[in-house]
Chains A and B, each alone.
Chain A
Amino acid sequence: MLRLLLQELRFRINGIIGWGLGLSFFPVVYIGMYPSFAEQMAIFEDLMDLAIYQAMGISMAGFEGFIASTVTNLVPVILCIYAVINGTGTLAGEEDDGRLELIVSLPIPRWQIVAVKTVALGIALFIILAIVGAGAAITMEMITISVETRVTSLDVFLSLLAAWPLAMAVGMISLFLGAFSPNRRIASTIATVVVLVSYLGSNLSGMISSLEKIEKLFLFHYYESTAQALELGQQTDNMIALLVISLVAFGLALAFFQRRNITVGAWPWQRGVISK
């Protein structure tokens, strides 16, 4: 099992480094440029009352609000794209391109294949966030002198790491969809819709009272990208909720992959029927 895990990580290493460094661009640029236009930010504060910005969870009042609205708001959303690509690519993608047949023909139980790929996905997401967090923290250290704030570089680092349960939940839902649906294209389409609806729905539910009743259905409801969360961290019950969602998705992925006819590309209800 450990050998398979090491292989899975080896396959992902380029993606991890690429996404880690690429995603670091956001915090480095946003944090790094803040001192040069901090005074001008006041001009935009009125704009922040617009519904479109609220829907996107953007509130740039002060440095903490700016970082929360840009770095800790955007990075998890973009990381969710990686989670969708990787989650659906892990089982469905490998099945589509035929490589899964070779792995399944090895003397390895199917549950181990799913478990190993889940752990590899989790590690990949964590390392990417750690790289991004490190980039943000280093940039933060460099501008500390010119910005007045209670937020430390460690706060920024930890707030980015705290996006892991959200990204993992998206990754696991994608993995489950890959084990459930006929092919990767369908799985990734559904997963992308889930992410977009969750993101917009979570932000809009604060403004539209009718959405409040269903706000708990949105994944992003369990992740706060606010100045307060930057300083105090994510709520424990929200993180637990995301981990539970991940576990449920893992269980479903296991159940469906266990029964899946590899190479066939069919919905579960399209299993063989003896014609009369």
Chain B
Amino acid sequence: MNKIKQYFKTHSYNIATYGIVIIAYVVMQYLSNADMLSRSVNGYLVPICAYIVLAVSLNLVVGISGELSLGHAGFMGVGAFAGIVTAACLQGVVDSDFGRLMAALLVGGVVAGIAGVIVGVPVLRLRGDYLAIVTLAFGEILKNIIGNLYIGKDETGIRVALSQAELHLGAGGKVILSGALGATGVQKLSTFFAGFLLILFTLFVVLNLINSKEGRAIKAVRDNRIAAESVGINVTAFRMKAFVVSAFLAGMAGALYGLNYSAVSASKFGFNTSIDILVFVVLGGMGNILGSVISATVLYVLPEAMRGLADYRMILYAVVLILVMLFTWSPKVKEIMSVVTAKLGGIFKKKEVGTNE
């Protein structure tokens, strides 16, 4: 009994995180089944799941490992297109839609993870703002490459080329990816349930990683690299681990996202999307996984909910973003807040004393 209590005490944060996600899923699924959600809200469910996974995985790099990455959308894009190609290739081989989706997610994650290794080797030699700019550069390179790939399939197998003409598809061949136009005619496989499973999987991986020996080593590197190095932590290996896990999860999220639309183009996975994900992480709190989940949901819904304001909505979003940053980070506001809370605390204390007498 005591052991269980102890477990709940030390893991209350994780339990709360899982609990909130599960409750939110059950409620949304119920509402969706009961036809109480509008079409547009139903359409947001899967992208929200994808963005939650992206935010949590980026938080692993930015919050836990302490490196500013500006190229997260590149991994998302790699995962998305790898997933789309996989799903298209398995059409007719695997009958179940869900099975194909799972295979697509897995391949998307693995390919993005490999991209993460390739990117990570040079990137993790750098530090600070230089690391940020190189991740930005790699994000753009990945976007540029997937924006120029042509992939098609015919009875002989899969063909990859750099232009439509070079594809030489046989009779009955089908183009899966066509360069800058991206993938068109994608079969929508993603479901809210799959998104929910992916979130749980991501939380499981990330929360366990954070609380493990490896996670503590990664945090030690973030807090003081030199001190960590001097107690025998292999700095590069641990930074690499966090980076690759993050890329893998981002790839899975990308595959989920890509298979939710009938047409996806590479331009979606550029700098702006990377920045959006970074905003989710920073506003949710660095290193705070539950914060990322909540802020990704709220910040994704916020501009959509403001659609009624038409042209003003993005301006309002920008203003909200600036104000939130000013109010949560400004040293002056923090000082004022601490004074206010101290005073309020003082009032309550006095009252307590008064009632005791």
Partners in one complex: no
